[in-house]
């Protein structure tokens, strides 16, 4: 998962982009980057690390200009080498810099056709560089100068016809403007904001509305699936639907886990969706576990807190914070390597013994993916003195890999793949385990926007909305996500950085 930002302003944008990236940090902690434009020259700073570590005062001083884009990332199908940090750059036509959130499912075919037909070389394993070159190749077809809004929309239309998968994109083209667009299914989020500064209108696009809030932009609307937004550097806004058959199928895992609770995505409050998930799950627990003696409801921080509070209310049980989180340790979901992931859980959470001692506790988590974290936390609860430890997941069983930009493991590494609930319960060492029903999850999220007919729920049911996913692709993705393969690619990528000057 990644976070993207783009601003066309009338004043320097470096600080606003930096601030926006800090509130999108939850979307990726592997690397960060900012490109600004001054005097028709791109200024770039990107590196591995958190936003606060990548950008020092000297970098911010050099990132001059009233237009810029930013990106936070963690690797999905590519490597985690610094050379794959975004934004990416290509010099023709005009000079383009691009940042992308998502995953292209036909990247390998496009890479080959770019080389053979368009004579374009892609130097990294990142599908974002592929997407940049597809866009550049389409813009190069236009005969006019300067390019018109119609030229940009025609290019995006061809991008939609060429690439498959999930993508939210923001790019700058020297001498022209900023272009942002979203895939025809709207799988990955993107929104538009505006603010007025000294009588001048400034525009911003971002992965989540919370980024707009952080820097004083008013939320205008979500970018529609398949839609392109073009903003000239003079501040003129143009929009057009560029997909042949757009339909809104947002990724439901955004609401379960990834997005911040204070964000609105496709008119849905993430916080309200999580509260409703808790209500639905609480009702199921009440129906199916009415014989259990539960003393206290405890969330596993932090995404599950909103759901857990509502579960406690529905069950009429006390709600307690039983774990204290160390905020200075990376998220286990993102950390590479299973052994590192195991070790990190205890560095990340510590149990408050008084809340567990001699109690039957119901732990609430947002989801269960590999099961390693759940196993460790249940063990911690027992060591803290719990008599019984029950676990409830606000999401259904994660049985299938994600192909749209979430770095989930292969199917064989998912604890729920090919297993029933009783088997999973035994493996993680719980006294009882219950999952949200998919129907209830969809209903909970859809309450915020009943117009959405179908959510992207492939990790739960194996149904991929783009319709192009087969076992051959899943096997290919499994190979890419293998830990040994990633290590080898990172060694290769360390010498593969052919970029514009990166401010050191």
| Catalytic residue IDs | 2
Q: β-pairing, 268-269 with 264-265?
A: antiparallel
CA gap 390, 425 in Å, rounded: 9
CA gap 479, 167 in Å, rounded: 22
What secondary structure does DSSP assign to 420-472, as a single string? -HHHHHHHHT-SEEEE--HHHHHHHHHTT-TT----B-HHHH---TTS---HH
CA gap 31, 49 in Å, rounded: 5
Closest residue by Cα to residue 449 from 221, 239, 241, 278: 221
CB 78 within 8 A of CB 123: no
Helix (H) or strand (E) holding 259, with range, is: none
Q: Which residues partner with 201 through β-bridges?
A: 196
- Hey, how many other C-beta atoms are within 10 angstroms of the C-beta on 478? 16
366 assigned to a ligand binding site: yes
Residues comprising the chain, all counted? 504
CB 254 within 8 A of CB 63: no
- Which residues, including other chains, have CB under 8 Å from residue 485's CB and lie 6 or more apart? 479
Work out the burial of residue 497: count CB atoms within 10 Å of its CB; fewer than 13 is exposed, 13-18 middle, 19 or more buried: middle
> What DSSP character marks residue 353?
G
Closest residue by Cα to residue 345 from 355, 365, 330: 330
303 assigned to a ligand binding site: yes
Q: Does residue 297 have a cis peptide bond before it, meaning omega lies within 30 degrees of 0? A: no
Local structure of 498: helix, strand or coil? coil
In 3-state terms the chain splits into helix, strand, coil percentages (rounded to 5) of 35, 25, 40
N- to C-terminal Cα distance for the chain? 26
- Hey, how many other C-beta atoms are within 10 angstroms of the C-beta on 216? 14
- Hey, how many other C-beta atoms are within 10 angstroms of the C-beta on 64? 16
CA gap 472, 26 in Å, rounded: 32
CB 14 within 8 A of CB 34: yes
365 assigned to a ligand binding site: yes
Q: Which residues fall in the annotated binding site for Mg(2+)?
A: 303, 365-366
């Amino acid at each position: 998962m990644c976070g993207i930002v783009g601003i066309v302003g009338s004043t320097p944008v470096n600080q606003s982009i930096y601030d926006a990236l800090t509130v999108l940090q939850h979307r990726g902690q592997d690397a960060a980057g900012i490109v600004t434009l001054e005097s028709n020259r791109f200024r770039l700073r990107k590196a591995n690390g958190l936003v606060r570590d990548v950008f020092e005062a000297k970098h911010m001083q050099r990132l001059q200009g009233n237009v810029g884009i930013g990106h936070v990332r963690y690797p999905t199908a590519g490597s985690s080498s610094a050379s794959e940090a975004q934004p990416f750059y290509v010099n023709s036509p005009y000079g383009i810099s691009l940042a992308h959130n998502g995953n292209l499912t036909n990247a390998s075919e496009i890479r080959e056709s770019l080389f053979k037909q368009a004579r374009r070389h892609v130097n990294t394993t990142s599908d974002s560089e592929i997407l940049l070159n597809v866009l550049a190749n389409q813009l190069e077809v236009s005969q006019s100068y300067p390019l018109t809004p119609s030229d940009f929309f025609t290019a995006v239309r061809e991008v939609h016809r060429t690439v498959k998968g999930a993508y939210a994109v923001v790019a700058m083209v020297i001498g022209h403007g900023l272009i942002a667009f979203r895939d025809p299914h709207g799988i990955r989020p993107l929104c538009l904001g505006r603010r007025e500064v000294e009588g001048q209108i400034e525009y911003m696009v971002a992965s989540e509305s919370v980024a707009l809030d952080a820097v004083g932009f008013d939320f205008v609307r979500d970018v529609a699936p398949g839609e392109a937004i073009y903003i000239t550097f003079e501040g003129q806004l143009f929009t057009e639907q560029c997909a042949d058959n757009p339909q809104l199928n947002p990724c439901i895992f955004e609401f379960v886990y990834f997005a911040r609770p204070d964000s609105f995505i496709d008119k849905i409050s993430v916080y309200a969706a999580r509260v409703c998930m808790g209500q639905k799950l609480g009702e199921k627990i009440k129906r199916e576990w009415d014989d259990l003696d539960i003393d206290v409801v405890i969330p596993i921080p932090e995404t599950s807190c909103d759901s857990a509070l509502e579960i406690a209310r529905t069950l009429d049980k006390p709600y307690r914070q039983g774990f204290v989180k160390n905020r200075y340790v990376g998220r286990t979901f993102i950390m590479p390597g299973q052994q590192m992931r195991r070790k990190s859980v205890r560095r990340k959470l510590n149990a408050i013994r008084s809340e567990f001692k001699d109690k039957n506790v119901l732990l609430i988590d947002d989801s269960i993916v590999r099961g390693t974290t759940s196993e460790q936390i249940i063990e911690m609860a027992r060591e803290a003195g719990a008599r019984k430890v029950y676990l409830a997941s606000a999401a259904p069983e994660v049985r299938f890999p994600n192909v749209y930009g979430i770095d989930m493991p292969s199917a064989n590494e998912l604890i729920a793949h090919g297993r029933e609930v009783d088997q999973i319960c035994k493996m993680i060492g719980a006294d009882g385990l219950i999952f949200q029903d998919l129907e209830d999850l969809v209903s909970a999220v859809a309450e915020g926007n009943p117009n959405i007919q179908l959510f992207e729920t492939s990790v739960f049911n194996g149904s991929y909305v783009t319709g192009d996913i087969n076992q051959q692709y899943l096997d290919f993705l499994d190979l890419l996500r293998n830990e040994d393969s990633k290590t080898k690619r990172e060694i290769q990528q360390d010498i593969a950085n052919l970029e514009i000057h990166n401010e050191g």
